[in-house]
């Protein structure tokens, strides 16, 4: 599936090596100029080897630098600014709220453009076949792991969220080939989550990672990696894209077992009826 090159570079940037960051940073800042350069001109401008630029072009899925430039032109974005450049301290609540909603909508649209739907289908297949599903997440990702667990519990699936560093290792060590372990880490570098997935994999469990940055340690540890476009922006959380992805996985699983899922949801509503104020 062809991906938006600009969103791909933004997502990859934190995990790139020094020369790769130099190339990516220059491309993102001077895309129009790069589209008109030869590989020799760009190499001279950056002080890097021509072969480094060709390798970088191939690393993002292009056949070479010429194809890389075509992708730059095809997906040329309008100028983007941080949310603080678009707002002032004197803006009223309506203006701020509309701008935040707009940014979240933009994040969702960009995330949708980068998602690999074949991988999402594979993740649904694995979880649907699993006898047990464990979700690992720490810090801000802990609430996402808990949210995912609650969704699956509502439709009768044997799921659990583990959000403690030590318990993650213990729980992962008790899995087997009938289980699926899902690690959630926006940076892809949360040590405890990476270790938990590695341990689960050693025990024979299938492992799935959900992350916001490509080419990170968690991707190397997982059997299947679901990458989201969710750039680091001050005060703008990547959670909106994460929740939309787990909703998609949840609905996919519920559709596989529609009759039983509706039955479990009905039983849950009945169980909670006495706890709801009239």
Give how far the C-alpha of residue 181 lies from the chain's centroid of Cα atoms, to the nearest Å. 16
* pTM for the full predicted model: 0.76
Q: What is the pLDDT of residues 9-35, one digit of tens each?
A: 888 888 889 999 999 999 988 888 888
The string over 17-38, giving b where at least 16 C-beta atoms fall within 10 Å of a residue's C-beta and e elsewhere, is eebbebbbebbbeebeebbebe
Q: What is the pLDDT of residues 224-248, one digit of tens each?
A: 999 886 665 555 667 888 999 999 9
**pLDDT tens figures, 73-132:** 777 765 455 666 677 889 999 998 998 888 888 778 878 877 889 999 999 999 999 999
Query: Which backbone phi and psi does 219 adopt, to 5 degrees?
Result: -65, -40
The burial class, CB within 10 Å (0-12 / 13-18 / 19+), for 250 is buried
């Amino acid at each position: 599936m062809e991906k938006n090159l600009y969103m791909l570079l933004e997502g990859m940037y934190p995990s790139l090596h020094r020369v790769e960051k130099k190339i990516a940073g220059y491309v993102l800042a001077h895309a129009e100029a790069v589209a008109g350069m030869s590989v020799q001109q760009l190499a001279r401008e950056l002080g890097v080897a021509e072969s480094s630029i060709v390798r970088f072009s191939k690393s993002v899925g292009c056949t070479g630098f010429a194809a890389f430039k075509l992708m730059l032109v095809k997906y040329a974005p309008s100028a983007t600014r941080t949310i603080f450049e678009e707002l002032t301290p004197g803006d009223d609540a309506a203006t701020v709220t509309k701008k935040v909603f707009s940014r979240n909508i933009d994040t969702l649209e960009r995330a949708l453009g980068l998602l690999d739907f074949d991988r999402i289908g594979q993740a649904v297949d694995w979880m649907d076949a699993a006898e047990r599903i464990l979700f690992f997440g720490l810090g801000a990702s802990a609430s996402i792991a808990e949210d995912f667990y609650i969704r699956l519990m509502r439709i009768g699936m044997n799921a659990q969220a583990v959000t403690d560093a030590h318990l993650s290792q213990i729980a992962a060590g008790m899995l087997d080939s009938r289980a699926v372990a899902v690690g959630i880490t926006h940076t892809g570098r949360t040590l405890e989550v990476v270790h938990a997935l590695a341990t689960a994999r050693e025990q024979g469990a299938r492992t799935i990672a959900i992350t916001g940055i490509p080419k990170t340690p968690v991707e190397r540890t997982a059997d299947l990696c679901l990458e989201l476009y969710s750039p680091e922006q001050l005060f703008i959380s990547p959670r909106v894209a994460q929740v939309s992805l787990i909703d998609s996985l949840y609905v996919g699983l519920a559709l596989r077992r529609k009759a039983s899922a509706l039955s479990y949801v009905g039983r849950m509503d009945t169980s909670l009826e006495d706890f709801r104020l009239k």
